[in-house]
Structure 1
Amino acid sequence: MTRTKIDPRTIFSDAKTEGRLVYIAGPMVRYSKLPFRATVRHFGADIVYTPMILAREFIRSQYARDTDFTTNDSDSCLIVQFGVNSPEDLARAAEMVEPYCDGIGINCGCPIKDQISQGIGAALMEQPEKVCAMIRAVKERCPNLCVEAKIRIHRDINKTLRMAESIVNAGADYLVVHGRCKEQRSREPVNIDAIKAVCQHVRAMSNAIPVVANGDVFSVEDAARIAQATGCDGLMAARGILENPSLFSGANKATWGSVELILHYSSAYGLPFRLVQHHVSEMLTHSITRAERKSMNETSNLQELLDWLDERFVLLRPYEKGFGEAIDLPRKCDLNVSTSS
């Protein structure tokens, strides 16, 4: 595989020169697979993450490597995120993926209890020294590889500032801050002031690195508002971009072209049917009725799903003019009414 690398550090540097934000599609378990990554890049994502991969399983099991990480020569700029609590495990995993990615990320924010009980994810928010040891281990083993850490915030903002400072000093290349504590859930708004405090603190350091804000980004308007309020260098979307892969293009809901693209890439690169179905269902949340969504989710394989869509909408294939470009849902009944009138 001949792969063109795109260094995230260069993306941040160029964006700063151009006076723009860096747009990032964040890691989502099961969903940030290759077909989804290709789709969000089409609509302006600068950096895209894999789902979190368990580093220990990845380095020990060929099966885990084959199932957890699939890529191709156009899958860039790509960050492989690991769930990990061992410097040696992370260094070995980073060494394995270095030829096939543009950087690695350390998940310090996953609030799932099972992950925390294993000492990974949000458990690392109480072990900043271990996070720093992992960053240094990767930098020693893979000195040219971009390394990022994604954290949440503490109730005590000073504790978060100290952690951010230690991560910068350990050699991280950029920092992602999710503006909620590990106990908080997505229905609670992110703490904009806390993200702002981290941005200001890191920017004041002599070895400052870019800081990315994460949480509650559901539109480019949200991105602009959060950037204005925090002074961050980039915005990461997860739930918002799952529902609307065309978010960073400025679309207020998933375009029909993005539906065509996710179906195409899923067929071309391979994706389990239930994941394809979930992507399409999420993307059409605001475009079809609840009854239609229920009916669509009752399809049991890809051909049934395509037949269901073809029956109701104009679903273009890659060889047809206009493929991947449509904005609005092209209902066949609407076209019939327009033609007859």
Structure 2
Amino acid sequence: MTTPAYDVVAIGNAIVDVLSHTDDAFITAEGMAKGSMQLMFSPEDADALYAKMGPGIEASGGSAANTVAGMAALGARCGFIGQVANDQLGEVFAHDIRATGVTFGTVARDGAPTTARCLIFVTPDGQRTMNTFLGASQFLPASALDRDLIASGAILYLEGYLWDPEEPRQAMRAAIEVARKAGRKVAFTLSDVFCISRHGGDFRKLMADGLIDIMFANEAEIFALMETDDFDAAVAAAAAQVPMLVVTRSERGAIAVSGGTTVSVAAEPIDKVVDTTGAGDLFAAGFLTGQAQGKSVEQSLRLGAICAAEIISHIGARPMVDMKALAASKLG
């Protein structure tokens, strides 16, 4: 097995985020489930909701893309595979992710639909409610995979959001096969309860078949995946099927279970939660970077907590400080 050229190669939705502050009344009036993500199935729906947004911030996003951007900010070597359209938003996404130092070479797709966008409404308590038009991102074919890039990454990182459309689901299955043949690890983030409600059977089979080395989840997701509201039982059942299970618990910190050993850390203190967009993505960035740098599980969890705290202290899902300096000051 050759030495990996990259710490992580991720496959996920290539999305441009549009973030705006709003209040709970707007969330209720629009029939949104606060704090969740829902899909929009037509550009017309996306345009209509966008027209109702207040002043906002546009920035490249997408769960796995946020994770590798955060890792790159910490000094890790990362690549990303995701489908954009040959349009202005596609150019914005490609420029932004390359500017972070992440390798990105997926060829843009001609014609409709447009590059994906996520309309994110942030309420005064920092909760984010997402409305996503997947656009071109749901048409990532297996033929678009850079197999050499996948084989050159120590870890292949996949996001549950992209499992929903058929074409990228098959692409991710193909990517897992490439990674396995190259002797690489596979990490998977469950992304959202709605993904589990639609594809929980697939996710559980991936685990049972031994295809997942590192599983990321939050409390709601681990309950849904293991079909129980008993936290300890859910964790035990999932941990028995993957070499490493990482579960975030918001203000109660996070745990990791590996080889029968459970390690927990507290949440990193923060003065004010401004926007929880990307908290899980950046937690994964910190944890995976810690593992890539040979840190202990506890140190990796702490780095994840540090990254998550930085992200929720401002609007947007990409770091706004020198992450290497922040990590050094916090971890010593």
Structure 1 and Structure 2 fold alike (TM over 0.5): no
Please identify which structure carries the higher helix content. 1
Please identify which structure carries the higher strand content. 2
Larger Rg: 1
Normalising TM by the smaller chain, what interval?
0.3 to 0.5
RCO (CA 8 Å, sep 6+): is it higher in 1 or 2?
A: 2
TM-score under structure 1 length normalisation:
0.37
